[in-house]
Structure 1
Amino acid sequence: MAAIDEWCATPTDHDESCPVADPVYPANGKVTLSENDFRSGDGVPLTFTRSYLSSPFLKSATAMGPVWMSNWQRQLNVAGTSGSSPKVIAYRANGQPLTFLFTNGQWKTSSFSGLALAQNGSGWALTDLTTDTVESYSAQGVLLSETPHTGFTRTLTYDGAGRLTAINQRAAGAVPKYELLSIKLEYDTSGRIYRMTDPSGGLTQYGYDGSSNLVSVTWPDGYVRRYVYDDSRFKNALTGVIDESGSRIATWTYDARGRATSATHPDTTQNVRFAYGNGSTTMSWADGSGTVNFASVAGMLRMTGGSTADGVESRTLDTSGNLLQKTAPDGSAAYSYDAAGRPVRAAVTSPSGTVITSVRYADATSLHPSLVATPGKMRAFVYDAGGNVTGYSEFDTSDTTGASGFDAASTGNKLTVGARYDANNRLAQATVYVNGVKTEDWVYFPDETGNLQTAQELISRWLLGAVDRDASNRVTRATGNYREARFTYDKRGRVSRFTYNEDATALTAGLKRFLAVDYTYTPDGRVAGRTGTVARNGGTAQPITGDEIDQWISNYEIGADPVGPPANLSGSRRYLKADAPATITPVCAECYVFTKAKLAWKLFYRGLTITQTGQPVRGDVPELQIAAQEQVPFPILIPEQNGQSKRAILYAQLFQNTGDADAGFVKCSYGRPATKRCREVRERCIDKCTMQTLPTPATNDGRNFHKCFTMCLADNGC
């Protein structure tokens, strides 16, 4: 009983810091874990994810056992709406609570969350201001539907016992054949989800122990992932994960209060130990240790400072918990906010220099900017009544740091975009002008699933002619300009075969080529092997080297024409083990559409990665998240995003990952104290990827560098 009492006495405040060590919240010692069981191929994917929290805030969410919950178990606790201090607690997809207080006629969080709550006649609406996705809840706080901005509606179906049985996605205007994309859930006699059927018919099965802990997940291909709970003091505490090959890949231990004391892995350099003090936590790694200081500010545990052998980090917060000032061994930062709590200025100084970002908003409530000033560039935005960017303008400035803000002087170069949308906020046409000269004129048409089917640039005549999709809306065929790409997927939705048929044209010097690449995977989902062949002019397919496969895929993903590299068919089949130490990833089916036909890369990503001279940007990029990536995009200033947050959110469309972050303002204080290590890793990654992917500035748009760089940072734990 004493152990149980201490378990229940652990701090109930939400920890704002980033979890560390795969992963533990350092302030309250809670272990958390998120895994993705399904992801559709939509531009705004339909997903089914699970999150574990060792001491859950939401005790009633037991459909996946007492300590796991799915992203579709989001709910509102509306029991506190009456009384002198009305409040609503929104439980998010990761199980973390967010409290809204009724202040001056509006529901608001203490610090700006990027989520807006409103009560309507039939219930509640929670809007994610970063995506304009609307979650609808009943008057009792039950999640009823989710509506992304671009015409999809995801409706939840419950049985008579109140159990969620289906998530049904419909695209506005879809014909009956494509009317429904459905995830179905089945329950055991104890009311726990034991089977999930994805839209393609794949079955994911869930197993539980006598304490209702989720102990196994059996994937559609039959491989099993297992979870261990062997601490006799805490029957629901996750102590280990065993992957599909039977290897234990993570182990956690706990103190008497249920706080994690260690996290260990096969790679011992990633191991960490935790020691808890009064308002501080000390973490020890193989290469050193550090301390995080924290305090409860506005109902949330927030990092107030820390120290390592590299030095001391200090932080100043306002009474709402907003970060005002940070000083650390690797630099400093200062942030300003408007009356609504939205960030309006970020000044970040590092050894690479100072980067100042200023934002002026288009209205009093949204995150839509009207002006954004960054080093060397000014951007302006105009919106229609639906919140879509219909006018975009940018010009180069002489302000190398951003210190001049909106007063920066133009250097003359100017780019503008005019756009229009259909009734469902889907981009229909976009025209690009550079210094008054029309350079691109795009038209777009959606398919029956609500996703992009056809895109054509009328000046260059580049064409995405047709797109076919499978039952999960994954691309299976894409055509255009004398080319055809086809994709085959395995039972877990991974590309198993990629073919590319390139017809003979003047650009290919009359050479017709057919590429075929086959992938195999390890039980735990990593690429185990990759082989490729090319057939020329209808001849016999010949094996090609891994380097040639890389060039084909790289050219495909950036929308190059032609895709085939200069003919060189000598070589032999090469497997992943021969490619070490590089990590091989499957081809990205829609990346070429993103980089070629959509505007996010052209207007933002390249400028955050590659300078005008074609060299990589040194120092960290401005703290911007790119919203509306299916439309004409706009940036959102989010103070103190860490590297993992940027890769997961800012770059999610370009490099689809298997995880899905929660909605709202994804800002994340560093869980690990400030260290020079990641700054040094960053510089090494820049040098490595510059040599590998930036041979000539004129012929490289930066995407390959960007992919190499982000993977290098992730591989090094930064």
Structure 2
Amino acid sequence: MRFLEKLVLIFNLRLKNVRRYLLLTSLFLFSPLCVAAAPPAPLWGPPGFHATPGEACEQSIIDANAWRPGWYESYKLLPGSFSYQKVCIFYGPGHLYASEQEIAASCPYGWYPNGPFAHLMPSEDNASCVCPPGSPVYSPEYQVCISSFSISIDGPAATKVLPAGPSLSMAATVKANGEPGKNWLVTVSVPGGLSISGKTDINGRFKFTYIPPRRPMVARLTAICRDCNNVSTEMDINVTDVPICRADPGMLLGNPVAPVSGAKIQVETDWQDQSAHPLSLVRTYRSSGSQVPVGWGGYWSHNYSAQLVGGDFQRNAQFGNGTLALFTRNTKTDPWVNDSGEYRLEQNTDGWRITRLEDDAYWQFDGSNVLVKIGQRNGWVMTLSYAGGALTQVTNAFGRKLQFFYDAQGHLASVTAPNGQTIAYTLHGTGRPLGVLYPDNRSKSYLYENAQYPDLLTGINDESGRRYATFSYDADGRATSTSHAGGVLSYSVTYPEGNSADKGSLTTGSVDGALYQSSVQTTDPRGNVQTWNYQGGDGTVRTLGASGPFEGATVASRSFADGLNLPILETDFLGNKTTFEWDVSRRLLLKITRAASTPLAQTTQTQWHPALHLPVMITEAGRTTAYTYDPLGNKLSETITDAVSNESRTVRWTYNDQGLVASMTDTRGKVWTYGYDIAGNTTKVTNPLGHVTLYSYSGAGQITQITDPNGVVTANIYDARQRLLSTSVAGQTTTYAYDAVGQLTRATRPDANWIGFEYDAAHRLTAVTDNLGNRIDYTLDNAGNRVAQQTKDPAGVLSRQITRMYDAVGRLQKTTGLE
């Protein structure tokens, strides 16, 4: 039998089943010391099963009998070979067959010296397997020598899409028992086939940078080390959506879409609470990325949800409005650092606490990372209760409750407000909200008509059953247009080529700063094509500038502080400049100068509380305003000083144990006092003369009755949607009527005279009428400007006609007729 044929037989007999073969392929198969320069075709079995003598060995088959006592193979040493132990040790894929001096118990067969030959034959009972250098771990179960070195990926596990970023500093690390694997070849790849390779440094680390894509995704990094026992390892990076700075121009357009990220955002207030510490219910839809799970599918969440995930060196928080906060640290004792500088993360005895620095609001998570409290700076806290992992109740600081109910599939089906009203949801099988039923039995429905992306919101039907809004998307799921009924108030977005749904990239060099900038083109309702430029890189995104037809005061360009998205200079389309100075460490504005470098320049300077994000002194043209606070941030005093006369006026406040204003001392030194009900509503106001005004409230915190110091009563009645239906003052009543959508259609005075209002399907006022038969009709352009107005008398005769012309940016240019 030929040598290769006999090896086939050996491996067939020795490797007992297919599972063993498959497992061996996942291990690194060390090349034998005696291997031919060009090995023959693989034997039967998994790839890598090569076994041939090398240059220093001469094969000699002494006995061809297969695998039985007495069987052996012999390899003759070539002249000049200094040791069969060094040169002719033969081992297959992970197997070692040791020389006589190295064998002991449990090795199935071994090499035996015999003069110029070394023999392969069954081992004695006291044989053992010896692994070659670099592979010191022997697996008796699979009879292979495996490497003790393993590969892992180290670094942050989350970031935000470009241009927000940031890019992540990562490393593929090779170690064994804490010892670094130096100069090991590794390859790192991302989805789509992009990869980089290199060798580990003296610390066993191959350093690289992950550059995120421009759309949310979970990016899976793979690191491969052919010489490691795990061969490859994976790590998921959660790439979330761009944070939206709503104060910046160009961040949100129309009903709204976010051009910087391609997200469609829809905010729906299902129940409005007007009491102290309100328990309003607000839903948010955000089409890109993922939302905090609340029992709904399809990118919906609500304002009582947040999640915290991560480990010792990175933690990621996401809130119900889609906002994400990323935190990192280098060691377990370092403080956590937020990528945008807008939040603070701290571990306390109850778990974890995230504080929003701009207003010191906080979210408290327990030790299992479950949101249990939402608190305010003044000490008011909302407490969240759960059953089976689902939120069931939110209780505010005054004991009022918002309750959540779920269907058999665990989907959020309804919410009961503190006044007992119920908001119910119609749900798709996946939990995606299809509609909402309000307490007045009116419903609104949501449309999802995109076959490629079935969770994308494409339209809204209002409470009248008419389609009110339409949204469209491109092949990458980015919002490309938004409009209202009839195509009015329409905006469209065009994204540049190569700026779509890539998978991210890798580099071992520096990151091109241009990656943190982005430009998109938009078309407004007037047909103007405008370009918006954005700047990111630090976890936030700000508007860098714009070009195209714009109203003069719109920001045309900006420059930012180094490494931070804090503007230091803005220039508008009229050339006016505004400069800014910052406390960079706290991201607090210290100084702003408008019309900078001109005789009209005006500067406002702000000094801040050392611990709270509250101003203590504001200096502006003509006056200064000073504030003092208690430790909870309640304002104790406000003093306005005239810069010319140096006269000061001060108002002071005191508070009760619930954090409500107990008294106010006005600028004349006169004291007003206040009383409250158990819900925190103001029920009594006593003026400095001792005169008392009394108030009563509905379950939603609306004033239902006012009794003034003279005993005059004002009574208010509201509908189930909290809209004012009537106001009666001393028995004289004014009533109000609404259409299905909630638009005011008629106001009737106590003398029965009334005025009526009409609207188009886009919810725009188009006509005004009265009880005498007079009528005013408005003609609107796509942007909502009144371009024509006709007034008719009760007989229908035209009594006045006005036309108006606007320029490309909506400025009134000409009026024809009498206003």
Q: What range describes the TM-score normalised by the shorter chain of this pair?
A: 0.5 to 0.7
Q: Is residue 169 of structure 1 aligned with residue 396 of structure 2?
A: yes
The answer to whether the aligner puts 1:226 opposite 2:469 as a matched pair is no
2:639 to 393, 408, 422: 393
> Which of 365-374 and 249-258 deviates more?
365-374
Question: Compared with structure 1, are the counterparts of its residues 359 and 9 closer, same or farther at alpha carbon in structure 2 (3 Å cutoff)?
Answer: same
Q: For residue 578 of structure 1, report the CA deviation from its aligned partner.
A: 5.8
Deviation, 1:329, is 0.4
2:757 aligned with 1:523: no
Which deviates the most, 229-238 or 414-423? 414-423
Q: 1:6 to 1:321 in 2, by over 3 A?
A: closer
Q: Residue 663 of structure 2 aligns with which residue?
A: 429
Report the counterpart of residue 87 of structure 2 in structure 1: none
The Cα shift of 1:326 comes to 1.6
In structure 2, do the counterparts of structure 1 residues 392 and 57 end up closer, same or farther at CA, with 3 Å as the change threshold?
same
Alignment-mate amino acid for residue 543 of structure 1: A
What's the CA shift for 1:467? 1.8
Q: 1:369 aligns with which of 615, 629, 635?
A: 615
Give the structure 1 partner of residue 162 of structure 2: none
Partner of 2:570: 326
C-alpha distance in 1 between matches for 2:658 and 2:419: 26
Instruction: Report 1:348-367 matches (<5 A).
Output: 348-349=594-595, 354-363=601-610, 365-367=611-613
Q: Report what 2:286 is aligned to.
A: 53
Q: Could you tell me which of 404, 408, 414 is aligned with 2:648?
A: 414
Match 2:521 to one of 282, 301, 316: 282
1:21 to 2:254 alignment: yes
Percent identical residues = 23
After superposition, the Cα gap between the structure-2 partners of 1:292 and 1:576, relative to the gap in structure 1 and judged at 3 Å, is farther
Tell me the equivalent position of 2:483. 264
1:197 is matched with 416
Q: Which runs of structure 2 are paired with 1:700-711 in the superposition (5 Å)?
A: none
Residue 94 (structure 1) shift:
1.0
Instruction: Output the CA distance in 1 between the equivalents of 2:486 and 2:286.
Output: 23
Residues 194-203 or 115-124, more deviating: 115-124
Higher relative contact order (CA 8 A, sep 6+): 1
User: In terms of Rg, which structure is larger?
Assistant: 2
Do the aligned residues in 2 keep the contact of 1:467 with 1:477 (CA within 8 Å)?
A: yes
Provide the rounded CA distance (Å) in 1 between the counterparts of 2:672 and 2:808: 45
Check the 8 A contact 1:280/1:294 in 2, yes or no. Answer: yes
Question: Which letter does structure 2 place at the counterpart of 1:307?
Answer: S
| 470, 475, 488: which one aligns with 1:251 | 470
Cα distance in 2 for partners of 1:143, 1:579 equals 53
- Go from structure 1 to structure 2 and tell me whether the alpha carbon gap of 1:306 and 1:450 turns closer, same or farther (over 3 Å shift): same
Give the AA of the match of 2:676.
P
The amino acid of 2:534's aligned partner reads: F
1:481 aligns with 2:691: no
Distance between the aligned counterparts of 1:258 and 1:97, measured in 2?
A: 20
Alignment of 1:241-640 (within 5 A): 241-266=460-485, 268-277=487-496, 278=499, 279-287=518-526, 288-310=528-550, 313-318=556-561, 319-330=563-574, 331-338=576-583, 339-349=585-595, 354-363=601-610, 365-397=611-643, 410-433=644-667, 438=668, 440-459=670-689, 463=692, 465-482=693-710, 483-501=712-730, 514-533=731-750, 542-544=751-753, 574=771
Q: Which moved more, 1:19-28 or 1:354-363?
A: 354-363
CA 1:6–1:440 in 2, change beyond 3 Å: closer, same or farther? closer
String of CA shifts for 1:203-250, please: whole Å, max 9, x gaps: 211112244321111111111101111111101011111111122111
- Distance in 1 between the 2:695 and 2:680 partners? 12
Residues 110, 321 of structure 1: 8 Å contact kept = no
- Name the aligned partner's letter for residue 145 of structure 1: K
Q: TM-score, structure 1 length as denominator?
A: 0.65
Shift of 1:162: 0.4
1:418 and 1:210, CA in 2 relative to 1: closer, same or farther beyond 3 A?
Answer: closer
Whether contact under 8 Å (2:428, 2:434) holds in the other structure is yes
Distance in 2, matches of 1:7 and 1:430, equals 52
Q: CA separation of 1:289/1:462 partners in 2, compared to 1, >3 Å: closer, same or farther?
A: farther
User: In the alignment, what sits opposite 1:32?
Assistant: 265
Once residues 35 and 88 of structure 1 are traced to their aligned partners in structure 2, the CA distance between those partners, rounded to angstroms, is 29
The alignment's TM-score, normalised by the length of structure 2, stands at: 0.57
Change (3 A) 1:136 1:376: same
- What's the CA shift for 1:268? 3.8
More helix by share: 1
* 1:87 equivalent among 307, 314, 338: 314
Give 1 or 2: higher strand fraction.
Answer: 2
For the 8 Å contact 1:52–1:68, the answer to whether it is kept is yes
In structure 2, the CA distance between the partners of 1:575 and 1:241, relative to structure 1 (3 Å rule), is farther
Deviation of the 1:169 alpha carbon: 2.3
Label 1:576 to 1:441 Cα distance change in 2 as closer, same or farther (>3 A): farther
Q: Does 1:71 align with 2:290?
A: no
State how far apart, in whole Å, the 1-side matches of 2:633 and 2:295 are.
Answer: 37
**Within 2, Cα distance between the matches of 1:166 and 1:212?**
20
Aligned residues: 510
Q: 1:23·1:31 contact (CA, 8 Å) conserved in 2?
A: yes
Displacement after TM superposition at 1:316 (Å): 1.4
Letter paired with 1:300: T
Q: For 2:354, give the aligned amino acid.
A: L
1:588-636, Cα deviation, whole Å (9 max, x unpaired): xxxxxxxxxxxxxxxxxxxxxxxxxxxxxxxxxxxxxxxxxxxxxxxxx
CA distance in 2, matches of 1:119, 1:50: 29
222-231 or 314-323, which deviates more: 314-323
Q: CA deviation at 1:352?
A: 12
> Does residue 119 of the first structure (1) align with residue 347 of the second (2)?
yes
Change (3 A) 1:329 1:517: same
Deviations, residues 416-447 of structure 1 (Å, cap 9, x unaligned): 123222223221122123xxxx2642112222
How far, CA to CA, are the matches of 2:457 and 2:323 in structure 1? 18
Q: How well do the aligned residues superpose, as a CA RMSD in angstroms?
A: 3.4
Q: What is the one-letter code of the residue matched to 2:688?
A: L
Question: Does the 8 Å contact 1:417/1:432 carry over to 2?
Answer: yes
Deviations 1:273-329 (A, max 9, x none): 111115211001242110111243212343222211348822212312222222120
Say which of 426, 431, 434 aligns to 1:212: 431
Query: What's the CA shift string for 1:40-97, capped at 9, x where partnerless?
Result: 2213421111000112333x515121310011112223x13x1xxx333222231121
Whole-angstrom distance in 2 between the partners of 1:299 and 1:573 = 54
2:377–2:633 CA contact under 8 A, matched in 1: no
Kindly indicate whether the alpha-carbon contact (under 8 Å) linking 1:41 and 1:475 is maintained by their aligned counterparts in 2.
no
